[in-house]
Structure 1
């Protein structure tokens, strides 16, 4: 059954930010050793934009690219493209709703590398769209080095997306991941060779992709479908169906329009279509 998080009144980034600061204050009081860390990451900031910019720039920076330079890129992107902040908020809310291991927003922002890697990709994608491709590729490289998540800056990713565990996720240049998708570790959205042009998967809304799945080629993963762990998918997947295997085959229908929410990993939980 889908979990419903307790922050039912949150419908804006301001509400989200208030809830986040309240969580940070409570943790800081309970665990004084984290007080200065939480102050630097959350409590010293006035909005979600500057907090995220600080957290992510300190994760991505290195000896060549200092945190202040990365932070300036995030600040510019959030100012000129505020939809990035809305997407980040919805990503965090999706994690709290879908992951039984987390019930508050604070650990998502400061600890969850899947969330952080996705926000770094959003910056890389912003830079790519602005024609700053070399800088975008630098961000992709750092994302891969720091979080073990390799997403080409041109890849299009929607909002309310959850990278669960995230290690080893690879997403190619012409891939599209629509809103409200859950992707587990070691998933590849790749090509089938060295062909050029539009060559990567298109994942529609509500999809759940199990750990280790490889989806290859310019194929469509239909809305509300579910890909079983370890599957190799080489052909289109109809909407609201479950596929599993090597090569993947239809084994049933999904129990809801958004398997991304239920996160049901047992692909045998539904009967095959009649």
Structure 2
């Protein structure tokens, strides 16, 4: 097997391949070291592993079915959470108006689950099974279904994640305009949920400073346990334009971040969701 010929062929296809791995010399050195420890038959697998590592960060392509199953996992999370909260009734949710709102959000999330479970088979896929959830996040939110403040804080984190998650996958489902439209319809509802939950937190006096929108990467008083949900939300540059000085106006960084919501990639969203998934 002429490994140098293989690397030259890869170079012709992707001149930046060595920037992904390191340098050409380092790549060959790394492979040579691996080769000393492996049989000749295993060398192609070792090369494949090294190239997978090189391209893993940049390969963001996923099938529409994969993305819908990803969305279904998140909708399972939210639907189960709100259903369990609504079931507690006045023991958790102290006033009738709030209970009605939570029941409405629960119904919306259940509708999203049912829609995704129906459309995935139409695209030739199989819906993922609902995971088992731990909404205490291994004890971080131990009183989530007995303390209304904690319940709303977790709800805010879920909704803000959901908004960013749908936005993060919009470009990857553009090949199917019907699915894209449906996803955008869900996205806008998730945004309304997020705003409503934030307002409920404020009206109940749990966080007087929280707004219906995200300011910078502020968690709205929840704390560092949910900071990954807000990573990158302090961005003030859109499409290469610095918003803080646009049009000669004096726009603060906080106002600039509030005017634009940022997407969140699949890896980051799943890392957040994994805190609440047992299996």
TM-score by length of structure 1 reads: 0.29
**The structure with more helix, counted as a fraction of residues:** 2
TM-score by length of structure 2 reads: 0.28
Larger Rg: 2
**The structure with more strand, counted as a fraction of residues:** 1
